[in-house]
Amino acid sequence: MNTHNRGLLAARFLVVAAGTALALSAVAADAPVAADKPAASNKDIGPVKPTKPQYDTGLKPKEEITAAEQMVFLDEHLANIKASATLTYAFTKQGSMEKGFSDSVEEAVTLNGKSRTVKAKFLSGLNSKEFAPIDEALSNPVILHFLERDLAEMQRLTSGQPNYFRKRIRLALAEGPEAKPVKFTFNGKPVDAKAVSVEPYITDPMVNDPSRAAYKRYRGKRYTFVFSDAVPGKVAEMRFTIPDMGLAGESAFEKPLLEEVLTLQGPKK
């Protein structure tokens, strides 16, 4: 892929338009609110460890579009929805660093002939975020919504710029991390799924900048995306996990400083 085409892919990360893939932009704030507690996330998946050897994230994107980029940004996730339905996702925030909460996300998919319009209800109360309906949607907008919240959280925690974090995520996926086969429990039954995981900041030289001390604390942050053809909208689960870097190895992810998880619960007719 030439530089121009790679730039087009980056643009897809930034803009939502009819017939294009999903993109990201910066957003809103967080404040814990009371909410009906949704079903728990799939504990059998968790923050899947990235493939080895560790990629030099942000330094060596592949020329071609990688399978990870295809899965997250370019697939037509909504193609397997054949009738209007509301996709419901459980949202949980937890960790030792801040107060957690549970809430839910709903994505109402309406079929108009062969096209699909998606209206989102993303969280509630002070945590809620308004999104304009997306007409002729192809990719699942819940990816956009989850990552928009994440960009805002990174800005709040580090005073960094969302565009910088956005670029790190995109380039991490452009380095070609391998998808791992996993089982995802949907409607009480295990289904085949694939998980792709990246750590966009772990090798970022900016974490050693003395003027960015807050950023260093989050250098081990891991994103995990789980997709399955067997679930409506194909997005089974997304999470980010900020490990306690004072602990060794994967144990740092078992007692995270902060973790947010979005898990598909099932469609409403």
pLDDT tens-digit profile, the chain (269 residues): 443 343 333 444 443 322 223 333 222 223 323 333 333 445 556 666 676 544 455 556 787 899 999 999 999 999 999 999 999 999 999 999 999 999 999 999 999 888 999 999 999 999 998 889 999 999 999 998 999 999 999 999 999 999 999 999 999 999 889 999 999 999 999 999 999 999 999 888 888 888 888 898 899 999 999 999 999 999 999 999 999 888 877 788 888 999 999 999 976 65
Start-to-end CA span in the chain (Å): 42
Burial 38-59 (b: 16+ CB within 10 A, else e): beebbeebbbbebbeeebebbe
Give the dihedral of Cα atoms 42, 47, 51, 52; nearest 10 deg.
-140
Domain-wise residue ranges, the chain: 3-268
**E-assigned strands of 72-137?**
85-94, 101-112, 115-122
CA 213 to CA 248: how far, in whole Å? 21
CA 45 to CA 237: how far, in whole Å? 9
Which among 143, 142, 140, 89 is positioned nearest to 116, based on CA atoms?
140
